[in-house]
Amino acid sequence: MADKLRLMAVHAHPDDESSKGAATMARYIAEGHDVMVVTCTDGGAGSILNPAMDKPDVLENMIEIRREEMATAAKILGIQHRWLGFKDSGLPEGDPLPPLPEGCFALVPLEESVPPLVQVIREFRPHVVVTYDENGGYPHPDHIRTHEVSMAALDAAADPEFDPSLGEVWETPKVYYGHGFSRAKILAFHEALESRGLESPYSEWLANWGTDRPDVMDRVTTRVECADYFEVRDEALKAHATQIDPNSRWFALPMDLQREIWPTEEYELVRSRVDSTLPEDDLFTGVKV
């Protein structure tokens, strides 16, 4: 891949880019390609998940702090970054679930949320776009909406009749869903730790994994080798200090075991205008500049 190619990842919140596909992006940056992350929401409804950051002034300035965290993570990864700036919907909890807040991203009509992403797609002209599947990766309303907005924007960006003022049309050659933690991956980590006489932090997670819940590995078409960039991924994650506890199970597995047991990040090819034989080991397979 001597020629420069362009990858765009569309995420719901600041920190999603670092917990989902960050090592892949860092690899492609190291190889000389261009990578852009688009963040759909401002992250303002995020909870403080790191006890060290659980302070009143942090909560009062959450949007500003999360913008600073995102800027730091982007610098660590070496990526370009764009905000769409919609209001974070939050994760509704309770029974029955409370209504989503008025004006939040999940409730904004597609007629309003799609054009800003179309403009970014037409400007950046990505060869590959990565977004979430129809379930949002997990059923957060902003993640599901990110899927809907991404797929609609990809269609609109390629339509010459869709608002020419947003830029010259662009049809993205390949589109992927990113898939994060699968049961197969968690089980592999769990068994690797136990076989070495180490305590596994994944026992409860596996015990609560429903037997009727499908494993996303059944959908994976593409596994990208990126173990050399796991440290970069972790540093980017830690930059989101309000969201990431450095003592959490995110960092429980020794790095050498991660590289040995699961050195890839996983994706599902869902659209392609180029020839590519599955399974793949590269998101840019078949793409020509």
Task: Give the model confidence (pLDDT) of 124-172 as tens digits.
Answer: 999 999 999 999 988 899 999 999 999 999 999 999 999 999 999 999 9
Q: Is 13 annotated as a binding residue?
A: yes
Report the first-to-last Cα separation within the chain, whole angstroms.
Answer: 10
Cβ partners under 8 Å of residue 141, min gap 6: 89, 91, 92, 100, 104, 105, 106
Higher pLDDT, 57 or 73: 73
Q: Which residues contact 129 (CB under 8 A, 6 or more apart)?
A: 7, 8, 9, 10, 121, 150, 154, 172, 174, 175, 176
Is-contact 14 134, C-beta < 8 A? no
DSSP 8-state secondary structure symbol assigned to residue 255: H
- Asked if 147 and 134 touch (Cβ cutoff 8 Å), the reply is yes
56's torsion region: left (phi>0), alpha (psi -120 to 50) or beta? alpha
91: left (phi over 0), alpha (psi -120 to 50) or beta: beta
Given a cut of 90, whether residue 97 has pLDDT beyond it is no
1 pLDDT above the threshold of 50: no
> Rounded mean pLDDT of the chain?
94
Q: Is 143 annotated as a binding residue?
A: yes
Percentage with pLDDT > 90 across the chain: 80
Over residues 187-246, the pLDDT tens digits come to 999 999 999 998 898 888 888 887 777 889 999 999 999 999 999 999 999 999 999 998
Pairwise CA distance, residues 238 & 114, whole Å: 31
Neighbouring CB atoms inside 10 A of 268's CB total: 18
Domains of the chain in sequence order: 6-181+216-272 (3.40.50.10320)
What residue type is assigned to position 81 of the chain?
Answer: H
Structure tokens at 128: 């590959």
- Give the pairing type, strands 264-272 and 174-179: antiparallel
Give 253 or 83, the one with higher predicted confidence: 83
